[in-house]
């Protein structure tokens, strides 16, 4: 992957999540021509942007990050062949951050719910390969995810165990099976650790940030 093109995405978005994700892609596709697949600026672009001192890549990102592969995006309704790979990366991150943030009309989605939306739009709205890369990079249960165990206990993911198994993170348990506060216990799901009934801990479901009345700020400071 071209270092110059990687840096252009990081700089022109000013987005930490984008920069970190692109850095991860760089490790996978070093020296590849993946991001060289841009598309030329077209006459429909805002004339002030074209006349400005902004590099073409910056205008590309600013104007087109709401475009979708199936042509249902805006402002120009571009189709897949017209959408550069840098735009595909930024559009996925932009959608993910929007989904996981509170909006005027709805509460933030949980990370897992946002992943489902991205996967529902794969191929038609979002680049399937890049969406899967994002999920692989962030992990299925990223730090801050509230999870319920099969025995009913509740915890908060603090580490994704990326080097071992992303489906088996480190989780401090904070609520018992009756959803009452309990003495915290850190379980590392990459190893077999058992509850009081000698059953191995396994994640049953991931929840939104305020599930069970849990205030994440109390535990993740």
Q: Are residues 29 and 132 in the same domain?
A: yes
Write down the pTM of the prediction. 0.61
Q: Are residues 131 and 155 in the same domain?
A: no
Q: Are residues 202 and 106 in the same domain?
A: no
Lookup result for tokens 């735009």: 87
Q: Are residues 30 and 95 in the same domain?
A: yes
* pLDDT band at residue 21 under the 50/70/90 scheme: low
Q: Are residues 182 and 119 in the same domain?
A: no
Q: Are residues 43 and 59 in the same domain?
A: yes
Mean of pLDDT values over 43-67: 65
Statement: residue 20 has pLDDT above 80: no
Beta-bridged to residue 155, according to DSSP, are: 147, 173
Using one digit for the tens of pLDDT, what is the confidence trace for 71-92?
999 888 999 999 988 899 989 9
Mean of pLDDT values over 102-125: 88
Q: For a pLDDT cut of 90, what percent of the chain falls above it?
A: 37
- Rounded distance, CA 162 to CA 159, Å? 8
Q: Are 157 and 145 in contact (CB under 8 A)?
A: yes
Using one digit for the tens of pLDDT, what is the confidence trace for 114-155?
888 999 999 999 999 999 988 888 877 878 889 999 999 999
pLDDT of residue 22: 56
Tell me the three state secondary structure of residue 199.
Answer: coil
More confident residue, 36 or 154: 154
Statement: residue 44 has pLDDT above 80: no
Q: Are 150 and 202 in contact (CB under 8 A)?
A: yes
More confident residue, 54 or 206: 206
Q: 149: which 2 tokens?
A: 């165990």
Q: Are 173 and 187 in contact (CB under 8 A)?
A: yes
Statement: residue 29 has pLDDT above 50: no
Identify whether 136 is preceded by a cis peptide bond (ω within 30 of 0).
no
Q: Are residues 91 and 178 in the same domain?
A: no
pLDDT of residue 220: 65
Nearest-Å Rg of the Cα atoms of the chain is 20
Q: Are residues 88 and 192 in the same domain?
A: no
* pLDDT band at residue 23 under the 50/70/90 scheme: low
Domain residues for the domain of 56 are 3-138
- The residues near 44 (Cβ < 8 Å, ≥ 6 apart) are 76
pLDDT of residue 43: 40
Number of folded domains in the chain? 2
């Amino acid at each position: 992957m071209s270092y110059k093109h990687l840096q252009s995405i990081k700089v022109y978005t000013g987005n930490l999540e984008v920069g970190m994700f692109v850095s991860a892609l760089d490790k996978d596709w070093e020296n590849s021509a993946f991001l060289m697949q841009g598309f030329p600026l077209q006459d429909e672009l805002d004339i002030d942007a074209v006349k400005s001192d902004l590099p073409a890549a910056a205008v590309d990102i600013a104007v087109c990050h709401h475009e979708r592969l199936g042509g249902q995006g805006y402002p120009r309704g571009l189709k897949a062949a017209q959408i550069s790979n840098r735009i595909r990366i930024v559009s996925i991150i932009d959608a993910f951050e929007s989904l996981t943030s509170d909006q005027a009309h709805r509460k933030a989605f949980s990370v897992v719910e946002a992943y489902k939306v991205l996967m529902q739009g794969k191929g038609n709205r979002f680049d399937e390969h890049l969406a899967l890369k994002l999920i692989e990079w962030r992990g299925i249960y990223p730090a801050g995810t509230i999870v319920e165990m099969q025995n009913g206990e509740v915890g908060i993911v603090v580490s994704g165990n990326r080097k071992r198994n992303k489906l088996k993170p480190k989780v401090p348990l904070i609520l018992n099976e009756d959803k009452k506060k309990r003495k915290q216990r850190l379980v590392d799901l990459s190893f077999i650790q058992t509850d009081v009934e000698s059953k191995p801990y396994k994640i049953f479901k991931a929840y939104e940030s305020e599930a069970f009345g849990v205030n994440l700020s109390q535990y993740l400071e």
